[in-house]
Amino acid sequence: MSVTRRVLAACFALAALVTAGCSRVSDADEAPPVETAARGLGAAEVVRDQVYAERDTGALKLDLFLPAPQREPAPLVVYVHGGGWDAGVRTLDSDLSATEALTAQRLLDRGYAVATVDYRLSGVAQAPAQVVDVADAVRYLQQQAGRWGLDADRVALWGASAGGHLVSQLGAVAGDPGKPGGGLTGIRAVVDWFGPTDMSAEAQRAQPQMQEYARRVVNQLLGCMPVDCPAKAEAMSPIRNLSGDEPPFLVQQGTADSLVPLEQSLDFAEALRGLGVTVEMHPYEGLDHGFGRGPHTPLIADTVAAFVETHV
């Protein structure tokens, strides 16, 4: 099977395996209670509930964790939550046994600001609303950089599961302002945690026996099944939008991922590498979707911090 066919099959193997939704399975996708974010993960200051955009469906907000004051403006990492595009919240769990929380703390300790952002869920807006929202959040933070002491030209995007898909899409279209969410400047790196990368009609055909929930979540995101809107499906597929102008990528995924087959990330990394893009691919033996919590957590967090320090 070709690399492309394996990626396509893998994407909808994801759909076939989902029975209760990403947000019900993954630690990264499960929305923590709002009160768990009361602590600041070691930040010197936390700006919460900052409205970055108003939509017909309501205000979109972000939280900004600022590091200890330093001489130079702080580079920025923007985190995008998972949840199958139809669930999840921006709030970071403050328990440092959670991989996201520990990673954020590691970044803050190294002088990076960390923002967590809302985006419209697929229950209220179809694609490409989600990538447009995240791009608008990044632009807002860049425009307000002087207010919070941020370096608008040193930005990394980081996302988990559905959020990994969104940041990968933004990385793919960063060089093309004509595409939704495209044309972001200052993006120095992308960190993709187990995000799907292909929504194409060919992928749907490769896995025709999708279960009902999977049909609903794909249809809800796109507003159609891929076979009925192939152009829209491909437009939302990061692997279909690569040009070779992408920033460096770090891809991290467990080898026992029960939702997104590891081959999907391997093939995405291969496609990037084939275009001359810097890629680090880190598979973690035996870990499922969301990584879970355990002795592997510091390794994953430190890998992100080292990658960001290298490129941002």
Structure letter (DSSP) for residue 29: T
Q: Which residues pair with 189 in a beta bridge?
A: 156
* Count of structural domains within the chain: 1
Instruction: Kindly state the average pLDDT of the residues 70-81.
Output: 97
H/E element, 71: none
Does residue 235 or residue 13 have the better pLDDT?
235
Measured CA to CA, the distance from residue 45 to residue 64 in angstroms comes to 8
pLDDT score for 111: 98
Q: What is the pLDDT of residues 15-73, one digit of tens each?
A: 433 333 333 333 344 433 333 333 589 999 999 999 999 999 999 999 999 999 999 99
The structure tokens listed for 106 are 């590691």
Instruction: Kindly state the average pLDDT of the residues 229-251.
Output: 95
Q: In this structure, what CATH number is given to the domain that contains residue 117?
A: 3.40.50.1820
Say whether pLDDT at 1 is over 80.
no
Whole domain around residue 275: which residue ranges?
Answer: 3-311
Say whether pLDDT at 232 is over 90.
yes
pLDDT score for 176: 95
Kindly list the distances between the CA atom of residue 86 and the CA atoms of 122, 124, 127, in Å, as whole numbers in the listed order.
5, 9, 11
50-55, long-range: CB < 8 A, 24+ apart: 52/117, 52/136, 52/137, 52/140, 52/141, 53/133, 53/136, 53/137, 53/140, 55/120, 55/125, 55/133
Instruction: Kindly state the average pLDDT of the residues 279-287.
Output: 98
- Say how many C-beta atoms besides its own lie within 10 A of residue 123's C-beta: 12
pLDDT score for 206: 66
